[in-house]
Amino acid sequence: MHPSSRKAFQLTRVVMRNDRLEQRARSKETVGNPKIDRYLWFKFALDDTLPCATTEELHSLIQMYLCRHDEELENLQALRKGNRPKTGRQDILEALIKKEKDEYEKGFGKTANYLDIMTHIAAFADTTISSCLELPDLQNPKNVKILRSWDGDKNSMARIKTKTVVNPDANAPSKSVNSNAMDVAK
């Protein structure tokens, strides 16, 4: 077969396409799933001696979860000199922290699509960003037992029940009184 023949070009295209497909498959395997990462974080953060978490323990775990990137963010800010622009990783961490704190204020599992906000940054992220993250129900002893026996498999995540958790401080009604407001209850 001649190296400049049509058949040689066809075979070259096929080989190059197969290489591209294999490379994409390898890159998908290395990138973590944020939902799995969140479930695993709560699985290992919950004390093994407890059958389930109380409301106070759950909120303290969530606070620890929200602060897990603070040290890395502080290191990145310390490395930045003068008026230099932020690194891509710093932008991603700040956006992720803001998104998770907003999600906690509104309730885990109730946020809008995060990809709309971070489309241009997500291409450079070392982790994928999902739209609606859920929190495993740590107040149900049966669910905690299932979570502890879970091996991190994506296909068996459906067995773990989820729960929407809202920051109790965010739900406190404001005590401001509007003197111009009309009392409709009477």
Domain count, the chain: 1
- Has residue 44 been placed in a domain? yes
CATH number of the CATH domain containing 141: 1.20.1440.170
Token representation of residue 75:
């290191």
pLDDT of residue 82: 80
Q: Which of 116, 128, 97, 111 is nearest to 35 (CA)?
A: 128
Could you tell me if residue 18 is inside a domain?
Answer: no
In a domain, 38, yes or no: yes
Give domain status of residue 177, yes or no.
no
**157 occurs within a structural domain:** yes
For 106-142, the pLDDT digits (tens) are 766 554 444 444 443 444 444 433 334 468 999 999 9
Neighbours of 136 (CB within 10 A): 25
For the chain, which ranges sit under pLDDT 50?
111-133, 174-186
pTM: 0.64
Nearest alpha-carbon partner for 96 in 65, 142, 139, 52:
65
End-to-end, the C-alpha distance of the chain in Å comes to 94
Residue 170, domain member (yes or no): no
Q: Which helix (H) or strand (E) holds 136?
A: strand 135-136
pLDDT of residue 147: 93
Range of the structural domain that residue 128 is part of: 29-163
d(CA 37, CA 125): 15
Domain-located, residue 121: yes
185, part of any domain: no
